[in-house]
Amino acid sequence: MNRSRYSLAHHPEARQRALWLIRDYPHIKARLEELDGYGTGGASDGQPRAHDPKSPVEVLAIKRAALSAQLKPIEKAFDEIPEEYRKGLWEAITARRRYPPYATVRTWKKWRQRLLWYTAFYAGFLE
């Protein structure tokens, strides 16, 4: 049996999580851009608030950091893939389109497997 370093056969949950993380990329990116458009809310009067110990700026910074942390593994994984396969893989995974005809199906599956592996690796889904 040929075992590839990039095989996720023994980690089906990591494969699925990586796949859905890539598919959620446009939504995460849109949410991050939406948060970038927010201000700090209303003007503060300088008085402490007992019901909300965190400032609005702090809450937005925490949300931005969490969303950025989800985007980073995908971007790093795509950097590992050759340029000519990125767009085809992106459309095949996110829009569920067919692979472009300039490479064989075997080649596309090889790079898809590596993309999923790198995403799972950089996201910390593999132990």
The pLDDT tens digits for 25-44 are: 999 999 999 988 765 555 55
Answer yes or no: are the C-beta atoms of 114 and 5 closer than 8 Å: no
> What global pTM score does this model have?
0.82
Say yes or no to pLDDT of 96 above 70.
Answer: yes
29-36, Cβ contacts within 8 angstroms, sequence gap of 24 or more? 29/71, 31/67, 32/64, 32/67, 32/68, 32/71, 35/60, 35/63, 35/64, 35/67, 36/64
pLDDT for 124 equals: 94
Quickly count: other Cβ atoms within 10 Å of residue 83's Cβ: 8
Q: Output the pLDDT for position 1.
A: 43
